[in-house]
């Protein structure tokens, strides 16, 4: 029997990270694919004003990016907690 890998959700809190998110998403996808892990990436937008949500919405499907958006900045702890609450994977990182 061939072992199956658990689905992994990567939670990424983001505040005004439009410039760095494409590289971050690509690195997560490359690492997960190298390990043959099924994955998705949940980006929690913590009230960004720089177009961060647009970057996630326009990300290629292969990057597995999903968006959870806050109406204002609540802080990193709140973003991580919300990400953990909305993660769908068997394993959350």
Domain count along the chain? 1
| pLDDT of 57 higher than 70 | yes
Domain that holds residue 21: 8-92
Residue 52 maps to which CATH number? 3.90.550.10
* Confidence band for 73, pLDDT divided at 50, 70 and 90: very high
The mean pLDDT value for 31-36 works out to: 92
| Region 85-91 average pLDDT | 97
pLDDT tens-digit series, residues 34-45: 989 999 999 999
pLDDT score, position 62: 86
Best CA proximity match to 86, nearest among 73, 72, 75, 70: 70
Determine, yes or no, domain membership for 50.
yes
In a domain, 37, yes or no: yes
Indicate whether 21 belongs to any domain.
yes
Write out the two tokens for 4. Answer: 């199956």
Average pLDDT over residues 20-39: 94
Backbone angles phi, psi at 29, to 5 degrees: -60, -45
**Beta-bridge mates of residue 42:** 11, 66
How many other CB atoms are there within 10 angstroms of residue 3's CB atom?
Answer: 4
């Amino acid at each position: 029997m061939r072992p199956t890998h658990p689905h992994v959700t990567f939670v990424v809190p983001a505040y005004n990270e439009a410039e760095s998110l494409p590289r971050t998403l690509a690195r997560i996808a490359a690492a997960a694919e190298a390990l043959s892990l099924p994955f998705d990436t949940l980006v929690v937008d913590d009230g960004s004003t720089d177009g961060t949500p647009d970057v996630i919405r326009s990300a290629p499907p292969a990057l597995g990016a999903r968006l959870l958006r806050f109406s204002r900045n609540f802080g990193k702890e709140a973003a991580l907690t919300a990400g953990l609450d909305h993660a769908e994977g068997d394993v959350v990182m």
